[in-house]
Amino acid sequence: MNAVTKPHALDEGDAAQLMLAIDRWVEREVKPIVKDYDHADRYPTDIVEQMKALGLFGATIGAEYGGLGLPARTYAEIVMRISSVWMAITGIFNSHLMLALAIEKFGTPAQKRAWLPRLATGEVRGGLALTEADAGTDLQGIRMTARRDGDHYVINGAKTWISNGIEGNCVALLVKTDPHAQPRHQGMSLFIAPKQDGFRVGRKLEKLGYKSIDSAELIFEDYRIPADHLIGEVEGQGFYQATGGLELGRINVASRGVGIAEGALRLATEYAQIRKTFGKPICEHQAIQLKLGEMATRARAARLLTLDAADTFDRGERCDMEAGMAKYFASEAALENSIESMRIHGAYGYSKEFDIERLYRDAPLTCIGEGTNEMQRIIIAKQLIKRNPVA
C-alpha cells in the first residue's frame, strides 16, 4: 500500500489520489473482513496499521506537524466512503482526531510540537474522555477532579463510553479543577492524559452495533501528571475547549450517517434487481420503487447538507446551525434507510449473512453521538431565531 506522506497540505490532485486510494483500500482490504470482525467484535489491528499508512490518523492535523491538513469537506468525503461499508473503523481515527484538534486549536506551542507529530503518525492514539455515568450531554455535571500539587496535578474519578479507551494510549481528559466555581463551566479544565500509573481501564462496554472499536470505562486513582499537560496555559477553559470541536465532530457524525444511508441504498438497489417475486425482479414492483425513490432522495439531501456544513466550516464561518442540521438529518436518514433496506431484503435482511443487518445496528449510534438529535433541533431553532431577529 502506498502511504500518503507529504510535507505539505494536499492539493486538489493529491486529494483525488487519496480518494482513489481510499476506495481501493475499502474494496480490497475492508470489505472481505468486515463481517468476521464485526460479528466477533474483534479489534482490527491490521486495518489500523493500514489506516496509519494512508495518513488517516493525521487527516485534519496541520501539514507543519506531519498531518495531511485536509479541509473538512475532503475529510467528510473520506468518512462517507468508509462508513458506507464499515462505520466502526472511522471511529478509531475520528475520536483520535478530536484529541488532536483540542491540542492544535488550544494547546501551547510546546504542546503542539510535542504531541501533534506523534498523533499524526498514529504513534500516539486516543480520543476524548468527557462522558461520565451522570454527565453526557450535560458536560457541566462531570465529577472528576484535578487538584494542583506543586508542579503536578492529581486526578481522581471515572469516565465511561470512551472510544479507543482500551487500544489507545492517550486521551483529552475533562475534569473539574474548581468544583465550586459558578457558573459550573468556569471550573473545568482539559488535560492531555497518557496512560501510566493511576490510569486504568475498568471494563469494555458491550454494544448493539459499532463493533470492533473499543468503548471503555476509564478509572483514575491518584493519577499524577505534570502541570504542563493542562491544555493551554490557564485553568478554567476546559468546557470551551471540549465543545470547541463539536462543529467538526457533528460534521463527522453526519458523514457517518451519509455513508450508512448511501450504503443501505446501494445494498437495496442491488438486491431489488436480483430478487424476484411473481415472475419479475422486485425493483419492478411499485411498492419497492416508492421505497427506493425515498431512500435515494433522503441520502442525497443528507450528503448535500453535510457538504454544505463542511464548506461553511472550511470558510472559517460559524456553522453550529449548519452542522446541527447535517448531523440531525443525516443520522435520521441513516436510521430510516437502513430500516427500509432491511424491509426490501425481507427475511434475508434479518440474517447475519447479509451486510444490511450491520448497517441497521450501526445507524442508531449516529442519532446519539456528538449530542442527541433532540439537542440538535434546539440548537437549530435558537440559531434560526438569533440569525433572523425581528426588526
Question: Catalytic positions, please?
Answer: 370
Q: 324: closest CA among 260, 378, 363, 362?
A: 378
Name every residue whose Cβ is closer than 8 Å to that of residue 41 and which is 6 or more positions away in sequence: 206, 211, 212
CA pseudo-torsion sign 91, 93, 95, 97: negative
Asked if 10 contacts 18 with a C-beta cutoff of 8 angstroms, the reply is yes
Half-sphere exposure of 216 (CA within 13 A, CB side): 24
Name every residue whose Cβ is closer than 8 Å to that of residue 45 and which is 6 or more positions away in sequence: none
CA distance 290 to 208: 30
Half-sphere exposure of 47 (CA within 13 A, CB side): 26
CA distance 61 to 319: 20
